[in-house]
């Protein structure tokens, strides 16, 4: 059975505020003899999303799944993904330390390796952590010496990105894909010439283009026109293979959204397409 859960995850950064303090902690303050000047931090910490690269627990290093990330805001709200499940928590900042508490998470079933990583990351991102910033990389270290290594992650543009469908949505509620259908539906949007039109900010205004990919079983393609946050799909052409039940259920749900005009939003590296009836799907930018 798919697990239904609500996503209310706004892209944020308290880790961000922490990093600003960390970056400035070794620099002269306003009362210093240099007249109060200070250097800029090595990375633009405000608004940064940090991809989790690895977690080291008891000397054993665990490589992170592509979707694992952390975002924090100046009000002390932490959000992100443990590798499979989304999470949120509170953060208290004290100099170059951050204390993470009151974590809550979604309850999707995860595969063995991903579940083991998720358990390790969840355990490490709890309690008081020492933060060290080095260029675009951040290390969070526990009192026991376990550590989380993170790096700055850039937002994904609408076009030219390979998007992998992660969940189906209905009126703001996301439902995980049925077992056996995960990771198979993916697509790429492309512009047909002309200037950027804002793709680097996730918006393509009044541009003709195309979409092609796989619906989870059958390959497909269509023309597209984007205007503001609206994207209009032309007639979808696809192969006609017969697929197992779960794959066909996902395929039919995707095709429903790809008929006519849908609204799209991009939250850093997650694309959500929603049809006029409130149903749609969410897709994650694949890592290169």
| Distance of alpha carbon 86 from alpha carbon 79, whole angstroms | 8
Q: Which of 67-76, 222-231, 243-252 has the highest mean pLDDT?
A: 222-231
Q: What ranges in the chain are assigned the alpha helix state H?
A: 14-24, 112-124, 245-257
What per-residue confidence (pLDDT) applies to 253?
A: 96
Burial of residue 155 (number of CB atoms within 10 Å: 0-12, 13-18, 19+):
middle
The pTM of the full predicted model, rounded to 2 decimals, is 0.61
Q: Using 50, 70 and 90 to split pLDDT, how confident is the model at 223?
A: very high
- In 3D space, the residue among 18, 272, 32 whose CA is nearest the CA of residue 138 turns out to be 18
The answer for residues whose C-beta is within 8 angstroms of residue 8's C-beta and 6 or more apart is none
| Token pair for 28 | 């002269």
Residue reference for tokens 């998007």 = 163
In this predicted structure, the answer to whether residue 198 has a pLDDT above a threshold of 70 is no
Band (214; pLDDT cuts 50, 70, 90):
very high
The total of other beta-carbon atoms located within 10 Å of residue 227's CB is 13
Q: Which of 152, 167, 119 is nearest to 52 (CA)?
A: 152
Q: Where along the chain do the CATH 2.40.128.270 domains lie?
A: 4-153, 162-285
Greatest CA separation for the chain:
75
* Per-residue model confidence as pLDDT tens digits over 47-89: 678 899 999 999 999 999 878 899 888 788 888 989 888 899 9
Q: Which residues pair with 260 in a beta bridge?
A: 233
Backbone angles phi and psi of 131, in degrees to 5: -105, 130
CB atoms within 10 A of CB 120: 23
Tell me what pLDDT residue 193 has: 57
Q: Span 246-275, mean pLDDT?
A: 93
**pLDDT-based confidence at 113, cuts 50/70/90?**
confident
Q: How far is CA 51 from CA 149, 153, 268, in A?
A: 9, 6, 11
Distance of CA 118 to the CA centre of its chain: 15
CATH number of this structure's domain 162-285: 2.40.128.270
- What's the CA gap between 234 and 262, in Å, rounded? 12
Average pLDDT over residues 136-148: 93
Q: Could you report the per-residue pLDDT of 5-26, keeping only the tens digit for each?
A: 433 333 333 444 444 443 333 3
Strand, helix or coil at 199?
A: helix
**pLDDT value at 38 more than 70:** no
Domain 4-153 has CATH 3.90.1150.10: no
């Amino acid at each position: 059975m798919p697990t239904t859960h609500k996503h209310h995850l706004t892209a944020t950064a308290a880790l961000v505020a922490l990093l600003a303090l960390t970056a400035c902690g070794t620099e002269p303050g306003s009362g210093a003899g240099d007249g109060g000047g200070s250097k800029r931090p090595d990375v633009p910490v405000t608004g940064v999303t940090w991809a989790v690269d690895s977690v080291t627990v008891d000397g054993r290093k665990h490589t992170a799944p592509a979707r694992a990330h952390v975002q924090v805001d100046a009000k002390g709200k932490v959000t992100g993904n443990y590798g499979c499940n989304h999470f949120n928590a509170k953060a208290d900042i004290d100099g170059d330390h951050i204390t993470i508490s009151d974590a809550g998470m979604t309850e999707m079933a995860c595969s063995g390796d991903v579940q083991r990583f998720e358990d390790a990351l969840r355990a490490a991102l709890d309690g008081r952590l020492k933060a060290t910033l080095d260029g675009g990389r951040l290390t969070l270290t526990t009192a026991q010496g376990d550590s989380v290594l993170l790096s700055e992650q850039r937002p994904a543009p609408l076009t030219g990105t390979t998007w992998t469908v992660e969940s189906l949505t209905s009126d703001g509620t996301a439902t995980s894909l049925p077992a056996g259908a995960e990771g198979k539906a993916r697509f790429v949007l492309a512009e047909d010439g002309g200037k950027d039109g804002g793709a680097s900010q996730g918006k393509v205004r009044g541009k003709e283009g195309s979409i092609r990919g796989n619906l989870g079983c059958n390959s497909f393609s269509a023309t597209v026109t984007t205007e503001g946050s609206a994207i209009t799909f032309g007639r979808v052409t696809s192969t006609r293979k017969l697929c197992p039940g779960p794959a066909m259920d996902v395929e039919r749900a995707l095709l429903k959204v790809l008929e006519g005009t849908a609204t799209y939003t991009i939250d850093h590296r997650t694309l959500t397409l929603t049809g006029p009836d409130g149903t749609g799907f969410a897709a994650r930018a694949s890592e290169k």
